[in-house]
């Protein structure tokens, strides 16, 4: 092999869900929000000053960090923004996980954590979830180089309450604890309230799910100002202008319209609860979900067969070909109409 080839950084990449673009499809495979973003964004779009595109955007992204700080009742020095929470999490791994001790995250969780750990050569361990897909918090009470917990967890959908999260924080005061709250708005309570008490806590959220803006790519972290300063130092050593002008201008109205935000959340939660009943009636079982998806398995028909049969009907759900979860489907919650069609399709497939 040529020596330059030996020096290439090789990595098994994260595989995102497919983005088919078919007419009449029902897309329940990437946990997107079925409802449009806040109406204020259309106004912002109409008023957008295109001349601004000539200039570099504000590297501090202050419009957006100010708006988030106000919404979450923290100082703007406690807020970091990035190109989706993937960018924020990748930056956090690079910034905080530099110990020789392994970082800890569950064996079944957001699969990107393992990819970043490999990319940055961070040692890691993946304590196993129990047989009900629950995190054993005691597994995180040992020496480590950092802890990452998705709450609710993905793809299981299981939410742990704040006492559980605080127990993990209490046992990990010497490492940075990242709580990935990509799905927290769908019924959970955020650990943001702990950032004053635990200066090693970084809470990460996204506009992609609850705020209907997956296409815009906005994510953020809230934590102690020293953590945020460290994140910014790494960001400025990597790419000063992660947030483009359009994201800055459209992100603010997404935060400000709280009524619309809460209405859409309620609709999705109502549809999720209704879908749980329907799936149960069809014989599926699933951990109770506090997210905008349900992680379900059927006792008679293999998940992969259901996945394929749905696909033939242009209904897309997510199947992970990974041990322990390969007989499960992750089904995102769409509109009521989409879920009705999905349930009717399942009835046809199962009978």
| 41 forms part of the interface with ligand PMP (CB under 6 A) | no
- Edge-to-edge strand order for the sheet containing 329-332? 293-296, 329-332, 318-319
Ranges within 126-155 binding ligand PMP (CB under 6 A): 150, 154
**Per-residue CA distances from 165 to 297, 329, 348 (Å):** 28, 27, 42
| 69 forms part of the interface with ligand PMP (CB under 6 A) | no
DSSP 3-state of 321:
coil
Shortest distance, CB of residue 145 to ligand PMP, whole angstroms?
20
Q: Could you give the maximum distance between any two Cα atoms of the chain, in Å?
A: 60
Q: Rounded CA gap, 212 and 279, in Å?
A: 25
> Which span (60-68, 81-89, 309-317, 330-338) binds ligand PMP, by CB under 6 A?
81-89
| 182 forms part of the interface with ligand PMP (CB under 6 A) | yes
| 251 forms part of the interface with ligand PMP (CB under 6 A) | no
Say if residues 138 and 119 touch (Cβ distance below 8 Å): no
Q: Which is nearer to ligand PMP, 216 or 349 (CB)?
A: 216
Task: Count interface residues toward ligand PMP (CB under 6 A).
Answer: 12
Place of tokens 């028909």: 301
Helices (H), 237-289: 245-256, 258-281
Q: Which is nearer to ligand PMP, 112 or 140 (CB)?
A: 112
Q: Tokens in use for 10?
A: 């090789």
From residue 300 to residue 339, the character string flagging contacts with ligand PMP as x (rule: CB under 6 A) and all else as - is: ----------------------------------------
Binding residue for ligand PMP, selected from 214, 227, 296, 346, defined by CB under 6 A? 214
Say if residues 176 and 148 touch (Cβ distance below 8 Å): no
- Interaction site with ligand PMP (CB under 6 A): 84-86, 110, 150, 154, 180, 182, 206, 208, 214, 219
């Amino acid at each position: 092999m040529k020596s330059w080839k030996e020096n290439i950084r090789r990595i098994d990449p994260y595989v995102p869900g497919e983005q088919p673009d078919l007419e009449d499809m029902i897309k329940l495979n990437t946990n997107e929000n079925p409802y449009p973003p806040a109406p204020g964004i259309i106004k912002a779009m109409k008023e957008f000053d295109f001349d601004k595109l000539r200039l570099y955007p504000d590297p501090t992204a202050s419009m957006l960090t100010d708006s988030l700080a106000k919404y979450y009742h923290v100082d703007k020095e406690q807020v970091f923004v990035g190109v989706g929470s993937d960018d924020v999490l990748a930056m956090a791994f690079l910034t905080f996980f530099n110990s020789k001790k392994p970082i800890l995250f569950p064996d079944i969780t957001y699969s990107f954590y393992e990819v970043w750990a490999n990319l940055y050569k961070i040692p890691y361990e993946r304590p196993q979830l129990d047989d009900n897909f629950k995190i054993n918090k005691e597994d995180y009470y040992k020496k480590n180089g950092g802890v990452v917990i998705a709450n609710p967890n993905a793809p299981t959908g299981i939410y742990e309450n704040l006492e559980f999260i605080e127990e993990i924080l209490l046992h990990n005061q010497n490492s940075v604890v990242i709580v990935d709250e990509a799905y927290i708005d769908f019924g959970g309570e955020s650990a943001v309230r702990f950032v004053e008490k635990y200066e090693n806590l970084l809470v990460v959220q996204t506009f992609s799910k609850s705020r209907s803006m997956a296409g815009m790519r906005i994510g953020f972290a809230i934590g102690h100002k020293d953590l945020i300063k460290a994140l910014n130092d790494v960001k400025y050593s990597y790419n000063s202008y992660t947030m483009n002008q359009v994201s800055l201008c459209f992100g603010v109205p997404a935060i400000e319209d709280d009524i619309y935000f809460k209405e859409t959340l309620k609709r999705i939660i109502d549809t999720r609860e209704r879908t749980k009943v329907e799936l149960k009636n069809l014989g599926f079982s699933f951990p109770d979900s506090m997210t905008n998806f349900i992680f379900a398995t059927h006792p008679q028909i293999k998940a992969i067969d259901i996945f394929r049969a749905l696909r033939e009907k242009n209904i897309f759900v997510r199947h992970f070909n990974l041990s322990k979860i390969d007989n499960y489907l992750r089904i995102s919650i769409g509109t009521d109409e989409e879920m009705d069609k999905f349930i009717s399709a399942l009835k046809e497939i199962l009978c």
